Amino acid sequence: MIDVNNFESMEIGLAAPNKIRSWSFGEVKKPETINYRTLKPEKDGLFDERIFGPTKDYECACGKYKRQRFKGRVCDRCGVEVTSSKVRRERMGHIELAAPVTHIWYFKGIPSRMGLVLDMSPRSLEEVIYFASYVVVDAGDTPLEKKQLLSEADYREKKAEYGDRFEAQMGAEAIKRLLEDVDLEKETAELKAVLKEATGQKRTRAVRRLDILEAFLKAGNNPAWMVMDVLPVMPPDLRPMVQLEGGRFATSDLNDLYRRVINRNNRLKRLLEINAPGIIVQNEKRMLQEAADALIDNGRRGRPVTGPGNRPLKSLSHLLKGKQGRFRQNLLGKRVDYSGRSVIDVGPSMKMNQMGLPVPMAMELFKPFIIHELTKRELVNNPKAARRMIDNRDEVVFDVLEDVIKEHPVLLNRAPTLHRLGIQAFEPILVSGKAMRLHPLVCAAYNADFDGDQMAIHVPLSAEAQAEARLLMLAAHHILSPRDGEPIVAPSQDMVIGNYYMTIEDKAREGEGMIFKDLNEAMLAYKNGYVSLQTRVGVQTSSYPNKPFTDEQRGRIMVTSVGKLFFNNIMPEDYVYINEPTMDNLTNGVPDKYFLDKGEDIHDYLENTPVVAPFKVGFLSSIIAEVYKKYKVTVTSQLLDDMKDLGYYESTISGVTVGITDVTDLKEKPGIIEEAHKQVALITKQFRRGLITDSERYDRVIGVWNDAKDAVQDKLIEHMDIHNPINMMSDSGARGNISNFTQLAGMRGLMASPSGKIMELPVISNFREGLSVLEMFLSSHGARKGMTDTALKTANSGYLTRRLVDVSQDVIVREEDCGTDRGLDVTAITNGDEMIEPLYDRVLGRYTMKSVFDPQTGEKIVDKNVLVDEAMAQAIVDAGVEKVTIRTAFTCNTDHGVCERCYGRNAATGDQVEAGEAIGTVAAQSIGEPGTQLTLRNFHTGGVAGNDDITQGLPRIVEIVEARNPKGKAVISEVTGTIVSIEENPADQTKDVTVKGDADTRTYTLPMATRMKVAEGDEIRRGFPLNEGSVDPKELIRVRDVLSTETYMLAEIQKVYRMQGIDLLDKHVEIMVRQMIRKVRVMDPGDTDVLPGQLMDINQFRDANYKTLVEGGVPATARPVILGITKAALETNSFLSAASFQETTRVLTDAAIRGKNDPLVGLKENVIIGKIIPAGTGMGTYRGIKPREVSVRTPEPGYEVTPATSIREMETQLNDEQ
């Protein structure tokens, strides 16, 4: 076997007949498979043990030699080698063909490779191969031409006329003869000469032929090998035959296809031996050709060969293709041992990095470790006894299991794994039952809930795998989302309501104005009923010696609430005291207004001071983000657990419930509805009188009812009590929102019809009153449409993610600094007056290319080549800077990746990115994962005639990344100049816009109804749109430059996501767009070896030019090309990666002819051949490091124990003291 980690690249080529024979262990001569009586393989058949090896381990067919000691001996009686039966998975056989056959991939593919080499049309080839016409292989001295086709009648006529002076043949033999006659070097020289003069179609054909012929030359492949004299036979265990219960046999389709070939081949041999008439032999040869075609690619030509029930048989090509093919099913998605799956349940009492593992699962998953430990402790003598002990559930086994799982992390995965947080590591804790327990805070990352979801568990076996799981994958490390760098782990539902309830402030609650020395005193008062959680009290700041109060604030009384005292107790000791839900409090500490002046009476202060809003879900998230920035993983995960415990405890104490009485009636509703009816009647009257159009009437009616619903909602909010449980849930962000409350207590409002159009009939009732039959019917449309949309969206989004991953999977951080001298000028992205992405977000976590100066004072704010942190980004924004030049993936010079400087900060950790990070895959996941949240709809622009719908949401993203012509395309100016005239042509409903440039004047014809972006006399720059709509990037790159096009695509993708409220970092989009524009098309090859029209990687093109310039030649010229992600993924340098993505047979055909060498730089190709992936710890830089054993036992990761981590512990402490 090959050691997969010891070779650097993998090459593919055409197999010569002798090469196929050298692979083979013997010729398959008979179509028989196994003897149905003895169930033994037949001699010389498709399962012959002499050819393929023994069916039983170390036992020959006749049973003369058994056991391993005879290994390698060939039995003299039956001729079978005594060896392991697994050789039947790797030993090949062959079939010697009585007549050659063409390989259908090379004849039938588009373009036909055989046709290009021979300069014959595919139709002519087909006529020759399938015995419809003769082809002249040697014209001799006759006026016939070589490769001329002759029908049967023509052939007889010419034979009578010229006799043996010429030679014509049929079938694959003729093609083989022609291919052998091709002089590659002579043909390429001739084609190069033709290219200098040729134009149009002739030139295109010549370029394609030259490309193929040079490929054969460079790879050392002989074109005649496209015709086969010998067929390889696949190892039998890869096309098995198994006996079913009823005594019948199930067999792989390949066996049927091989049998057809062997039967026809044997029949042809017999016919040739007996000198059968030519017509019969020809027919048999044609049938053999068709059988070989069906074996290689059934259905590629004509009707497929079918099996029982008219099912097409699966050929060799089908074994590779598609989701169930070898690549995607077995090479990229293997099933692994030491894994299991079970339903998940909530584990509220667990720590952040723990999961509950049911004992029966643990027993099975950790079996090898238990056996090892039992043997090591000398509780058993051998593994067999240990297994028996485990099966009998011996008591000692449970003790061993407890020890074995300690500090042995496991991986949990929930499908669909949309981003890297879909697999995280946890420390297992044994639990009873059969369901795995999951920590409630990691549910958001997994998108899991406990309504029957299942998850898979995997056990990392080796020491390295365990170390990686612990150091890189532990759930406690995954606090930030790689998509936007914001916390993905945040309290939700019960936890939010608990923390919200506890930070509510009420006026005039019991004990208001009491002043406490410290937290313990307040705790005592609370326990004894003197104060409630919502009571506003004073506390001495001196009780918080480590908190960052200002000198003026120290020693003064701070006004807060009892609940906030408890809430702040879970915060890190030296973190600011949080008294109000503002970013100012989080960054600068408690504002001075909450401190009493010397001698000021607290009751007077409270009388005149309004209550502070409680802490909602968004603010809790901000706290986590700020704590993470300051203290990193350990403290943050401890805080999260404490926040969870506190939230659950307080939500239980709060007793928040929902009852029908919480939904109150709204007295003003009938009046609002009546007023709306009057307005609608007035609008209808205007329409009937012809004062307004139908579309205006529709828009106004919709407007009236929306206003009515808003008015009802406003009144509801006005009358809302802060302690109303439904209000508490929606206001805190724990569950639902205000519109849910409006539907319960106000009115449901307008509904969408199945087509997505809003219906004019409103649902006036609410759920408290109950809906009428008609209203119920109207409501049901929207619900159904929601369900179908979700299903469609999931499939579309999943397919988009797959294509994104494929195009970017080889982008890895490969070096520290690429040394580029180019950067990108970034400004805030806006859409009209609407802010899409502010400058702060665009510069944060990026390296500056140039120094940033204050536009007013000229003072330097940030130096060049510096990583911009939050403080710097804020300083840039505060100074009013509008444009910053940053390092970007667009201009990075690193090959097959990006350097650390051009990428910047790793969003998932908040630190500088490290070499080895698989940023391409992370980028693809970040763009694809929120895909399901994007809309599928196209929004109408509001009834403007002739204006197409603007594509938005998921379809718009696909439109951009697949480089399609956009819907509602804008026309761009190709010159910089002035708009001199806009003339309307009512006859054909168009308008002509004339742009006058310095050297050129252009006129553009636009539809009459289009919305213009320019007016007469306006200045316009090259590449800018004349009308509303989306610019086609392919046109933009032709008119402007690459960087402008990349910037436009980045802004367009950001618009789609940000308008739907989804934050996405620029750097992810940059990597994707860069992958689309990394190829160039050669216009003029100059003195280089490249071909005109050839598609090349930009770096390969630069290398070719550099080499030519050094030698004093003329460099080639090329034009950048935008490829859609599907095309870009197929144009990658790795044929393994491309073949496992789409169009498997086409990719492999092309790769074999070119003798392609896969350098194995991406992730997919290494997974396919079983090598360690070259990212992360698999990078060459890290591979040499060997693990060393040290005597220090590592402490349990994760947490430092802080005193009194929850109210329950504080209570116990106080009770003990009393």
Helices 200-219 and 184-197: angle between axes, nearest 10 degrees: 150
> What is the sign of the dihedral through the CA atoms of 1046, 1051, 1055 and 1057?
positive
DSSP per residue, 308-337: GGGPBPP-HHHHHSSTTSIIIIIISS---S
Distance CA 264, CA 901 (A): 65
Q: Name beta bridge partners: 862.
A: 852
| Structure token digits, residue 481 | 């989302």
Q: Is 449 annotated as a binding residue?
A: yes
Task: Tell me how far CA of residue 515 lies from CA of 522, 1063, 1106, in angstroms.
Answer: 9, 44, 79
Contacts for 179 with CB less than 8 Å, ≥ 6 apart: 114, 117, 118, 222, 223, 224, 226, 227
Q: Is 825 annotated as a binding residue?
A: no
Q: Is 892 annotated as a binding residue?
A: yes
- H or E segment and range at residue 436: strand 436-438
CB atoms within 10 A of CB 392: 9
Q: Is 60 annotated as a binding residue?
A: yes
> What is the sign of the dihedral through the CA atoms of 1132, 1134, 1135 and 1137?
negative
Contacts for 758 with CB less than 8 Å, ≥ 6 apart: 702, 750, 751, 752
Q: Is 453 annotated as a binding residue?
A: yes
Distance CA 1024, CA 1042 (A): 15
Q: Residue 258: name the closest of 308, 314, 310 by CA.
A: 314
* Amino acid symbol at 768: R
Q: 1082 by DSSP, 3-state: which?
A: strand
- H or E segment and range at residue 557: strand 557-561
Q: Is 818 annotated as a binding residue?
A: yes
Q: Name beta bridge partners: 950.
A: 939
Which residue has tokens 């020395």?
517
Contacts for 647 with CB less than 8 Å, ≥ 6 apart: 491, 494, 495, 496, 497, 498, 499
Q: Residue 9: name the closest of 1166, 1139, 1158, 1170 by CA.
A: 1158
Question: How far is Cα of residue 850 from the mean position of the Cα atoms in its chain?
Answer: 34
Contacts for 237 with CB less than 8 Å, ≥ 6 apart: 86, 88, 89
CA angle 810, 814, 817 (to 5 degrees): 135
Distance CA 725, CA 655 (A): 9
Which residue has tokens 């958001």?
444
Contacts for 109 with CB less than 8 Å, ≥ 6 apart: 1145, 1146, 1149
| Structure token digits, residue 958 | 């696909």
Classify each residue of 225-249 as buried b or exposed e, where b means 16 or more C-beta atoms within 10 Å of its C-beta. bbbbbbbbbbbbbebebeeeeeeee
Q: Residue 813: name the closest of 882, 711, 897 by CA.
A: 897
Q: Is 443 annotated as a binding residue?
A: no
585 neighbors 627 (Cβ within 8 angstroms): no
Which residue has tokens 């007056």?
833
495 neighbors 445 (Cβ within 8 angstroms): no
Residues tagged in the binding site annotation for Mg(2+):
449, 451, 453
Residues tagged in the binding site annotation:
60, 62, 75, 78, 449, 451, 453, 818, 892, 899, 902
Residues tagged in the binding site annotation for Zn(2+):
60, 62, 75, 78, 818, 892, 899, 902
